[in-house]
Amino acid sequence: MSALHEKKLKSLEEMANKIRQDIISSLVEAKSGHSAGPLGMADIFTAFYFHILNHDPKKPDWPERDRLVLSNGHICPVLYATLANAGYFPMEELMTLRKLDSRLQGHPHRGSLPGLETTSGPLGSGISQAIGMALAARLDKKKQRIYCLTSDGEHQEGNTWEAIMFAGKQKSKLNNLTVVMDRNNIQIDGFTEEVMPLEPLRDKYESFGWHVIEVSGHDIEEFVAAVNEAKAIYEKPTVIIAHTIPGKGVSFMENDYTWHGKPPKPEEAEIALKELRTLEGRIKSEHE
């Protein structure tokens, strides 16, 4: 991972804003899909694909690449927009999201699109999949890192906790595994702490033998520092609890759980894109 100097940080913030605009554009074209979660995770996906991951878009199956598993596959609009901007497939293909015969399905399907490590759908299976990859890397004596992005709502699934317990038991065998939880506090029926309370999440992970880091999911510099800290932890796997704002960057979507699973209408998309373009100008001026 290269140094995160001021110029690089500016480019990452600008890319995250562009990815948010691409998310809105693809969702309004699809007339279907999830808005809040993808917008909230744009900073983290940008940090991964444009700074953290050891990967090669020209060789998506390169054996030595780091693996990124998206467990909560319904936020795939942010994954697709990031992969396209990183060069995995043509940008114009983003406009085929959720259409018939499109490679950009409503949940990622491994094998249909370069850069997809797993097929997702039912929530709660991603950490188990990532554990398998991490253990395989250990057996093969590979140096790659395994990352799993998961939602807070997925932690209402029992198989998530089975995986967390198993990983904690493996201890140093899984120090190549980092889980990133999108702690945005919403799910399709409301706020997580009203639907099925999850706290205290830090205490739960620590009780199962994990190293826990909590950060703002919108502070790219802080998130990169957390990933570097995870790399320095030898004796156990790490979870980064990233506190995010669902719908980040679009005022009428932020912290509104009703945007969990619906796309913007054309007039709403126009407002959203105007706000994001205004933010783009602010980002540029702040770094000048």
Task: List, for residues 21-50, the tens digit of each pLDDT value.
Answer: 999 999 999 999 999 999 999 999 999 999
3-state secondary structure at position 213: strand
Confidence class of residue 288 from pLDDT cuts 50, 70 and 90?
low
Phi, psi (deg, nearest 5) at residue 88: -80, -30
Average model confidence (pLDDT) for the chain?
Answer: 95
Quick one: tokens of 10? 């500016």
> Sign of dihedral through CA atoms 152, 132, 50, 92?
negative
Examine the pLDDT at 70 and tell me if it is beyond 90.
yes
Quick one: tokens of 132? 């398998």
pLDDT given at position 4: 86
Number of H helices, E strands in the chain: 10, 7
Which CATH fold topology does 6-286 show? Rossmann fold (3.40.50)
pLDDT given at position 279: 84
Taking only the tens place, the pLDDT of each residue in 206-260 is: 999 999 999 999 999 999 999 999 999 999 999 999 999 999 999 999 999 999 9
Residue whose C-alpha is closest to residue 215's, from 36, 69, 47: 47
Q: Which stretches does DSSP call E strand in the chain?
A: 67-70, 146-151, 177-183, 186-187, 190-191, 211-216, 238-243
